[in-house]
């Protein structure tokens, strides 16, 4: 799938966002290493904190399908009922960045912050989460437990 197709898929998923509280709709399209694309949208809740972001919906769906390696994700966010306006509005939240850190190589995994298939910016996970804590950090904790 091309970058533009991945963005179109994120925009399609965005149409299913369940956002009766924030009225902020986000869609995501996550490309696994084998090329399979998983969609995600944000799903809110009357109790607020159970809300799931679009990016995590896509990741958890993919992991449930047996995927563990990923290439890139396109994200498109903006006011419900309107088209996205600024690429910054598609920036993944800190919790989603941490979930990406669990399954992705920060040097190569790409986050496409999209306004439209024509207007977007691409960042690596390392740019969005420098010095992130991930599975390899934990391996060091097991090898050198005395250093804690």
Of the pair 54, 112, the CB lying nearest ligand THU is at: 54
Q: How many residues bind ligand THU (CB under 6 A)?
A: 13
Stretch that binds ligand THU, among 5-13, 90-98, 119-127, 140-148 (CB under 6 A): 90-98
Residue that has been written with the tokens 């679009």 in this structure? 54
Contact between 92 and ligand THU (CB under 6 A)? yes
What amino acid positions are annotated as catalytic residues? 55
Query: Sheet holding 37-41: strands in order across?
Result: 37-41, 24-32, 70-79, 110-114, 120-124
9 binds ligand THU (CB under 6 A): no
Q: Does 93 bind ligand THU (CB under 6 A)?
A: yes
76 binds ligand THU (CB under 6 A): no
On whether the CB atoms of residues 88 and 26 are closer than 8 A, the answer is no
The answer to whether residues 43 and 16 touch, using CB atoms and an 8 Å cutoff, is no
Which one, of 74, 102, 104, lies nearest residue 90 by Cα? 74
**Binding site residues, ligand THU, CB under 6 A:** 19, 22, 24, 26, 42, 44, 51, 53-55, 92-93, 96
């Amino acid at each position: 799938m091309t970058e533009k197709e991945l963005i179109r898929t994120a925009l399609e998923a965005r149409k299913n966002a369940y956002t009766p509280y924030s009225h902020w709709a986000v869609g995501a399209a996550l490309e696994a290493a084998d090329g399979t694309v998983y969609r995600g949208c944000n799903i809110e809740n009357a109790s607020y904190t159970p809300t799931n972001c679009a990016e995590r919906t896509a990741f958890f769906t993919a992991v449930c399908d047996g995927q563990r390696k990923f290439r890139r994700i396109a994200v498109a966010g903006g006011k419900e009922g309107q088209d996205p306006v600024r690429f910054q509005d598609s920036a993944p939240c800190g919790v989603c960045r941490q979930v990406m850190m669990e399954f992705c190589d920060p040097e190569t995994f790409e986050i496409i912050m999209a306004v439209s298939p024509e207007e977007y910016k691409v960042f690596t996970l390392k740019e969005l989460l420098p010095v992130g804590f991930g599975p390899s950090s934990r391996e060091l904790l097991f090898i050198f437990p005395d250093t804690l």
